[in-house]
Structure 1
Amino acid sequence: MPHFITPLFNTHLKLPLFGSQVPAGFPSPADDHLESELDLNEYLIDHPSETFFVRAKGDSMLEAGIFDKDLLIVDRSLTAKHNDIVIAAVGGELTVKRLCVQHGKPWLLPANPDYRPIQIKEGSELYVWGVVIHAIHRMNANG
C-alpha cells in the first residue's frame, strides 16, 4: 500500500514567476521582468478536495516520464479514459499504468518494454483510484 501525502491546501506559498522564458538551446541574457507570483497548489491542482499525492516505485513507467520515487499528483474527480495514466488496484495491488481500452476490454500498459501489459480478465476487478495529472521528479540524485 503506498504512502499517501495530503497537500496543505490552506497554505499558500506564492513565489516569483519571471516573465522571461529560459531557452533550452543557446543561452541568452535573462531580463529581470517579474510577471507575477505563482502558487504551485493553484497551478498544479484543479480539484483540491479530490486530489492526492503518491510516490511512484520502480521503473515500469520510464517512457511516460515517471521515474522511481517521483511524486505523482492524482485527481480522483476525473473519469479515467483510454490512454490516461492511472493509479489502479488490480487483485488488491496498486499500480501506476496507462489505461488502454481495446474492444471494450481494459488493459493496463507499462511504459517500459521490460514489463508486460496487465490484461483485466472477465471476472477480475479493476478499481481506478484516480488519473495522474502531474509527475514531479528531482533533476539530480543528490536531492
Structure 2
Amino acid sequence: MEKLKLLKGDFACKLSLALAPTIKAGFPSPADDYLHDSLDFNRDLIKNPEATFYGRVSGDSMIEAGICNGDIAVIDRSLEPADGDIIVAFVNGEFTIKYLDLSHMSEGYIELRPANPAYSPIRIDAEDNFRVWGVVVWTIKQWRH
C-alpha cells in the first residue's frame, strides 16, 4: 500500500505571488503579457486552515489521476467525503490516497480505487480498521528537480 507522510501546514505566514492571466495551452496572445492579480495560498487554496494538512505522496497508485510520487496533497479534514472524491484513508494501520467508491454500500462494503491499472481496488468491510482521514482538495507538484 502506498504511504503518505502527513505534514501540518504553517498557515501563519502570508505568501502572495503574482497571478498570471489565464494560461492557454495553445498559441499565446500578446495582450496577455502582463500580470493581473496576486495569488495568496492562504486565501485562495486553503478554505479551512485549522483542518488542512499537507501530505507527501509516496508511490504510483494514483498516477492516472495526475498524482505522482513526491507530489504534495493538500488535505481538508473538515469536508464530508463524497463518492468519487480523492481521499486520504487510514486502513488497518496505514495511510493511503485513493478514489472513494461508495457504489457497493448496499452490498455491505466500499472500495478505495487506485488510478493505476497495476493496482487492485482495496475492499473495505465492516471488520476493517478504516476511516476517511480527509479529502484531497489540491495537489502540488514539482516539475523541475
What TM-score comes out, normalization by structure 1 length? Answer: 0.89
Q: Distance in 2 between matches of 1:72 and 1:10?
A: 19
Structure 2 unmatched runs, 5+: none
Alignment of 1:79-94 (within 5 A): 79-94=80-95
1:3 equivalenced with 2:5 (yes/no)? yes
The corresponding residue for 2:111 is 107
Residue correspondences, number: 140
**1:98, CA displacement in angstroms?**
0.5
Could you tell me how far apart the structure 2 residues matched to 1:9 and 1:109 are? 31
CA distance in 1: counterparts of 2:114 and 2:104, whole angstroms = 19
Contiguous gaps of at least 5 residues in structure 1: none
Matched residue type, 2:22 = Q
- Any idea what SS the aligned residue of 1:131 has? strand
SS in 1 for 2:64: helix
Sequence identity, in percent? 44
Residues 51-130 of structure 1: pairs in structure 2 closer than 5 A:
51-104=52-105, 105-130=109-134
How far apart, in 2, do the equivalents of 1:31 and 1:96 lie?
A: 37
What whole-Å deviation, never above 9, does each CA across 1:94-114 have from its counterpart, x for those lacking one? 110111012312110000000
Indicate if the aligned counterparts of 1:107 and 1:119 stay in contact, CA closer than 8 A. Answer: yes
2:43 is matched with which residue? 42
**Deviation per residue, 1:30-53 (Å, 9 max, x gap):** 545432222112111100000000
- Check conservation: 2:113, 2:122, Cα contact below 8 A: yes
Aligned residue among 15, 18, 43 for 2:17: 15
Between the aligned partners of 1:76 and 1:36, the Cα distance in structure 2 is: 29
Aligned to 1:137: 141
Deviations 1:79-125 (A, max 9, x none): 11111111111111111011101231211000000000000123112
C-alpha contact 1:22 1:30 (8 A) present in aligned 2: no
Aligned AA for 1:41? N
Q: What is the rounded CA distance, in whole Å, between the counterparts of 1:13 and 1:110 in structure 2?
A: 33
Structure 1 residues 123 and 47, CA gap change in structure 2 (3 angstroms): same
Tell me which stretches of 4 or more aligned residues in structure 1 moved more than 6 Å.
Answer: none
